[in-house]
Structure 1
Amino acid sequence: MIGIIGGTGIAGILKGDKEEVINTKYGKAKVIIDKESDVVLLFRHGASHSLPPHKINYRANIYALKMLGVERILAINSVGSLKIDLKPGMFFIPNDFIEFTKKREETFYDCGKVVHIDMTEPYCPQLRNVLKSILEKRKYAYGEGVYVCTEGPRFETKREIEIYKNWGDVVGMTGYPEVVLARELEICYTSLCSITNYACGISKNILTVDEVLSTIKEMEDKILNIVEEFVNYKFGERDCICKDALKHAVIG
């Protein structure tokens, strides 16, 4: 089963339209299940986009997908560019991350046994290759690199961006801790990022929410095309690092 995490705009590709509540030991998660396509859709900000990044119950969301039998996750994220050549309107596929979050529950192993999960390659290499093949087939411009995750909900300052651009390529607020939680549950995870704007100080203009939403709207059809191809991709057996993550973890 495939899990899609993103915004309400991608609901149209699914045949299911009824939101279901999944009760987990970490709280409730709301999903739409398309049983015919074997796909679960989860809106991380809620169906009405009312949850800010730092208030999302990431653990409940990822755990609910695990409970439903999801083995592969495609996360849809919006990001700001830290590099001039990564232009708004392009896509971005992270291959690593750096995080500067402060308040988030970021592990399933915060009591009982201690588990140190390996994150040498945090995003599933197989899913990243599938995503790249879809983008290249459709001739959609994209880049790869490091995702810098900040706490939000405010945008970053000019001085913060000066630091981040030395370490990463894009900046966003929702990519972490999803990627880690998925690995702890041995779920394959990849991210399709829509570059909606240049980060503060990269562009000469003041960043506005209208600018971000406008670019997302312009990219919506492309995102739907990519998600549809991903959902219909003929996946074989998993033989990646993700499915055996706990075998290679340091457990104390």
Structure 2
Amino acid sequence: MDLHVEYAVIGGSGTLSSNFPLGAEDPGVILIDDDLQFATPYGLSPVFRLFSVDDKLVLTCKMHGWRSGVSRADASRQIFWVFRKAGVKRIISEGGVGTANHLLDPRDFVIPDDYLDLSVRKDVELDGKYLLIMRDALCSEVRNTLVKATQKNYNGRIFTRGIYANTDGRHFESPAEVAMMKGHADIIGQSICPEVYLAREIGACYAGLYFVVNYGEGLVKEWSHQDLKDIFYDDAPMVSRIILETIRNLSAEGKCSCRDLRKETLLKGIYNK
């Protein structure tokens, strides 16, 4: 694959309706290539878009690569295989989330600093060569840059830390499940894992921007599907602008410890590729 790109955006529901990044109507954005697909050991990749922001090259895909006929595990592997081949160093993910913390409201932003993996997709890896230390799993440099960009582009409530609970979906959670998570997590979604593991495996920095779109079941009040729809369609350009602002102010070479938290596995007899 003859492509060298240092930045990537994993698009979620927050930018889905805005034709990211074009919906932001940013004069510094240039679309370079579209409908890029790559053969990977895990099947044909999702479609990628290649664009630039003030001369910084960025790869992006829609909705975490999820699509009919492809397992979510394989979709994640395909994306991160492409990122590794392209030399991606900084990854920003985004999405709409529900609440596990009853103090959060729709249209609050959360830039989490930790996660809780309640999924069953815990063995999703590329080759298993590394021991992944999940201390500081969400890069502090990317997070801080995301926070500043969000503060510049949004006048609502912004939470600069929090815990993201990852569930499998594709359904939303039951009241009992939300009650179990309350006190242990702040937001609930379906994408941070295995992405956070795969980012560490390829030695890239990873952090996410999450927009609250509904109350967790049994918290505060019942949520409205119309409200959910309005948030997805009305606020997507603003989410796009925050991400573009973040890329502008984010150096490709970080001073963080993300790469140092990936160690050679001690299981040499098993992983000796």
Please state which band the TM-score falls in when normalised by the shorter chain. Answer: 0.7 to 0.9
Partner-residue secondary structure (3-state), 1:181: helix
Which residue of structure 2 aligns with residue 137 of structure 1?
Answer: 152
Q: Distance in 1 between matches of 2:252 and 2:181?
A: 38
Tell me whether 156-165 or 27-36 shows the greater mean CA deviation: 27-36
Seen in structure 2, the aligned counterparts of structure 1 residues 223 and 14 have a Cα distance that, compared at 3 Å, is farther
Which residue of structure 1 aligns with residue 57 of structure 2?
Answer: 38
Residues 65 and 75 in structure 2, CA contact (< 8 A), matched pair in contact too: no
Which residue of structure 2 aligns with residue 21 of structure 1?
Answer: 37
* 1:183 pairs with 2:200: yes
Q: Distance in 1 between matches of 2:88 and 2:76?
A: 15
Seen in structure 2, the aligned counterparts of structure 1 residues 51 and 160 have a Cα distance that, compared at 3 Å, is farther
Q: Distance in 2 between matches of 1:121 and 1:234?
A: 18
Which residue of structure 2 aligns with residue 117 of structure 1?
Answer: 132
> How far did residue 218 of structure 1 move?
2.5
Percent identity over the alignment is 25
Q: Distance in 1 between matches of 2:122 and 2:224?
A: 25
Query: Alpha-carbon deviations, 1:44-83, whole Å to 9, x = none?
Result: 3559x65898466111111211211211001011100122
Q: Distance in 1 between matches of 2:121 and 2:153?
A: 39
> How far did residue 202 of structure 1 move?
0.7
Pick aligned residue for 1:151 from 168, 179, 193: 168
Amino acid at match of 2:107: G
Amino acid at match of 2:111: I
Seen in structure 2, the aligned counterparts of structure 1 residues 239 and 46 have a Cα distance that, compared at 3 Å, is closer
Amino acid at match of 2:168: E
Q: Distance in 2 between matches of 1:206 and 1:162?
A: 16
Pick aligned residue for 2:116 from 98, 101, 122: 98
Give the total of aligned pairs.
Answer: 246
Which residue of structure 2 aligns with residue 89 of structure 1?
Answer: 107
Seen in structure 2, the aligned counterparts of structure 1 residues 26 and 245 have a Cα distance that, compared at 3 Å, is farther
Seen in structure 2, the aligned counterparts of structure 1 residues 206 and 192 have a Cα distance that, compared at 3 Å, is closer
Query: Alpha-carbon deviations, 1:87-146, whole Å to 9, x = none?
Result: 111111111111111246522245xx5x33100111011101111111223344211210
Q: Distance in 2 between matches of 1:53 and 1:213?
A: 26
Q: Distance in 2 between matches of 1:41 and 1:205?
A: 34
Residues 52 and 153 in structure 1, CA contact (< 8 A), matched pair in contact too: no
Q: TM-score w.r.t. structure 2 length?
A: 0.81
* 1:127 pairs with 2:142: yes
Residues 124 and 240 in structure 1, CA contact (< 8 A), matched pair in contact too: yes
Tell me whether 195-204 or 231-240 shows the greater mean CA deviation: 231-240
* 1:162 pairs with 2:167: no
Which residue of structure 1 aligns with residue 25 of structure 2?
Answer: none
Partner-residue secondary structure (3-state), 2:235: helix
Seen in structure 2, the aligned counterparts of structure 1 residues 151 and 52 have a Cα distance that, compared at 3 Å, is farther
Contiguous gaps of at least 5 residues in structure 2: 1-5, 23-28, 268-273
Seen in structure 2, the aligned counterparts of structure 1 residues 5 and 45 have a Cα distance that, compared at 3 Å, is closer
Which residue of structure 1 aligns with residue 251 of structure 2?
Answer: 235
Q: Distance in 1 between matches of 2:78 and 2:234?
A: 31
Residues 89 and 252 in structure 2, CA contact (< 8 A), matched pair in contact too: no
Residues 53 and 153 in structure 1, CA contact (< 8 A), matched pair in contact too: no
Query: Alpha-carbon deviations, 1:161-219, whole Å to 9, x = none?
Result: 001012100000111110111011110001000110111111322564x4323212232
Partner-residue secondary structure (3-state), 1:171: strand
